Amino acid sequence: MSTEKSNRIIRDQGQIFRLQREERSYLQETHNQTELHIKEIAGLDIGEFQAMTRSLGENEYVNIKKELFIKSTGKAHIIFDIQRLQNFTLAIANPNDRSIHGSLYVSPDNGHYASTIHKIEIENGKLEILDCQKKLRFVKVEIMGQTGDKGLVFLQGEK
């Protein structure tokens, strides 16, 4: 009887797990004297799988896409609470025939806002990433254009 140990690495949606198993090979003689090789899997280390799935769950990532329609005032905005996000990216996409403008504001209390990016032009069919170096609790993304135009605002982050 021989015993082998092998480690396999399993990749599952960005997570890496190590699967340990022990294989035993047996030589068994059958009634007509032919050799038969049998492999037995002795055990799987499932505890490591469960620990990794709890620590790297899908709920630790935020992926928000909002569609904003410009009102009769020529503006539309959305406010995000980014207090619990460690890293994040904001972007505005323009699906219209004509260009729109986007601005980014930050606030510590959702009452007083400071402009970090003011009136960046977003051409039709383009996506612009809004770089926010100053991180406060609230972020306000505002788009400006003609009534009825729309803009897509994306927020992706890591908790």
8 Å CB contact between 92 and 143: yes
**pLDDT of amino acid 66:** 93
State whether residue 1 is helix, strand or coil.
coil
CA distance 42 to 29: 22
- Supply the pTM of this predicted model: 0.62
Residues making up the chain, counted from first to last: 159
Backbone angles phi, psi at 122, to 5 degrees: -120, 110
CB atoms within 10 A of CB 149: 21
pLDDT beyond 50 at 83:
yes
Domains in the chain, start-ordered, CATH in brackets? 2-56 (no CATH), 61-158 (2.60.120.260)
8 Å CB contact between 89 and 80: no
Angle at 35 between CA 30 and CA 38, to 5 degrees: 90
pLDDT in tens, 34-69: 555 555 444 445 555 455 555 555 558 889 999 999
Question: 């960046």: which residue's tokens?
Answer: 120
Output DSSP code: residue 146.
S
**pLDDT of amino acid 44:** 46
pLDDT beyond 60 at 7:
no
In this structure, the dihedral spanned by the alpha carbons of residues 143, 148, 154 and 155, taken in order and rounded to 10 degrees, is 60
